[in-house]
């Protein structure tokens, strides 16, 4: 029995002669918030469609909760909440009707479906629109309803395809909070996105996909450890601080650039850095004028691995 909630082996998809996903070996541990990160057209949605049984792989295996997809799809999907990228069908239903209907479809008793529809409308911020028809909704409101749909039946695993693409900044922030809350409640969450900063704030695991291939996978912490972190520091005497930092175990590299100290930190020993640096500054009477992380560690890894300045 697999220790992973989602595990794929050599998962591959061709459309005609076009290879869109190739030999993907995904490993999503129980309780992980897994960011499936890649640029437009990398193969994220195609992968998710295969994970949820909407698309048949050309070859390769998918096991979810240790069960075979698509062979045991019905059993798997009972425990999965899926938020597709595409807008909702059922344009003529009201939000309330839609969520109740979807709850009934998944086998909830009528009263329970109504109860959950009400609760989830409130939770996802569309309570006031309960009796608006789907066709009247903005793209962001639709996305909130799709999120509510994914949460029906309190699923163990959430698979969310670009869940924030239509949300405004506040909506995004709220969404991140909800994902963290759901993670704390023990859910496993698989989120596809091309927005690095969001993934970084939500996810503890990450898989990087490029041209249909997984080029990196693991715990965000471990990936960041490999790379180290850059800090920009400015103190009243940079030369003195540079001398101090030179041979420290937690410093991979330190140099001065345009009057600012750039320090590449080894995350494994980061705690010592954060203890010893302030102590040294206090001892030497140096004033700290600037201290900030240079770029987000994950973003730097992406820039390196994808060979582009990839920003949201």
Ligand X SMILES: Nc1ncnc2c1ncn2[C@@H]1O[C@H](COP(=O)(O)OP(=O)(O)OP(=O)(O)O)[C@@H](O)[C@H]1O
- Shortest Å, Cβ 83 to ligand X: 13
Q: Check binding of 210 to ligand X (CB under 6 A).
A: no
Q: Does 42 bind ligand X (CB under 6 A)?
A: yes
Position 44 contacts ligand X (CB under 6 A): yes
Q: Which is nearer to ligand X, 125 or 163 (CB)?
A: 163
Q: Which is nearer to ligand X, 50 or 80 (CB)?
A: 50
Name the CA radius of gyration of the chain, rounded: 23
Going from the C-alpha of 197 to that of each of 12, 20, 68, 183, 302, the distances in angstroms are: 28, 26, 33, 18, 11
Residue with tokens 């990398």: 42
Torsion angle in degrees (nearest 10) through CA of 116, 168, 36, 70: 40
The DSSP output letter for 135 is G
Residue among 15, 59, 255, 274 that touches ligand X (CB under 6 A): 15
Among 187, 194, 205, 248, binds ligand X (CB under 6 A): 194
Q: Kindly state the tokens that stand for 26.
A: 């995904």
Quote the crossing angle between the two packed helices 297-306 and 220-227, to the nearest 10°.
70
- Tell me whether residue 44 or residue 172 sits nearer to ligand X (CB atom): 44
Minimum CB–partner distance for residue 220 and ligand X (Å): 20
Residue whose CB is less far from ligand X, 21 or 265: 21
Site for ligand X (CB under 6 A): which residue of 7, 34, 35, 45? 45
Number of residues that bind ligand X (CB under 6 A): 12
Query: Is 200 exposed, middle or buried (CB count within 10 Å of its CB: 0-12, 13-18, 19+)?
Result: middle
Q: Does 166 bind ligand X (CB under 6 A)?
A: no
- Which residues here bind ligand X, judged by CB under 6 A? 15, 18, 20, 38, 40-46, 194
């Amino acid at each position: 029995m697999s220790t992973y909630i989602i595990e794929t082996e050599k998962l591959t998809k061709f459309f005609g002669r076009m290879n869109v996903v190739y030999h993907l070996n995904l490993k999503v541990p129980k309780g992980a918030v897994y960011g499936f990160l890649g640029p437009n057209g990398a193969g994220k949605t195609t992968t998710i469609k295969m994970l949820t049984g909407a698309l048949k792989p050309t070859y390769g295996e998918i096991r979810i909760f240790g069960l075979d997809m698509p062979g045991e799809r019905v059993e798997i999907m009972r425990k999965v909440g899926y938020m597709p990228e595409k807008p909702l069908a059922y344009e003529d239903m009201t939000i309330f009707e839609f969520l109740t209907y979807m709850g009934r479809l998944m086998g909830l008793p009528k009263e329970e479906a109504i109860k959950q529809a009400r609760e989830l409308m409130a939770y996802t911020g569309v309570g006031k629109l309960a009796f608006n028809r789907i066709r009247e909704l903005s793209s962001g409101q639709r996305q909130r309803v799709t999120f509510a749909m994914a949460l029906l039946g309190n699923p163990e695993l959430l698979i969310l395809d670009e869940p924030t693409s239509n949300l405004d900044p506040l909506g995004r922030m709220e969404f991140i909070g909800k994902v963290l809350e759901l993670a704390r409640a023990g859910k496993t969450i698989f989120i596809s996105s091309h927005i690095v900063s969001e993934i970084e704030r939500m996810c503890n695991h990450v898989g990087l996909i490029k041209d249909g291939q997984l080029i990196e996978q693991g715990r965000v912490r471990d990936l960041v450890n490999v790379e180290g972190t850059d800090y920009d520091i400015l103190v009243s005497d940079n030369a003195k601080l540079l001398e101090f930092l030179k041979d420290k175990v937690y410093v991979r590299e330190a140099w001065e650039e345009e009057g600012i100290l750039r320090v590449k930190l080894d995350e494994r020993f980061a705690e010592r850095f954060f203890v010893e640096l302030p102590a040294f500054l206090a001892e030497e009477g140096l004033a700290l004028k600037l201290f900030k992380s240079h770029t987000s560690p994950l973003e730097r890894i992406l820039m390196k691995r994808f060979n582009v300045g990839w920003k949201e």
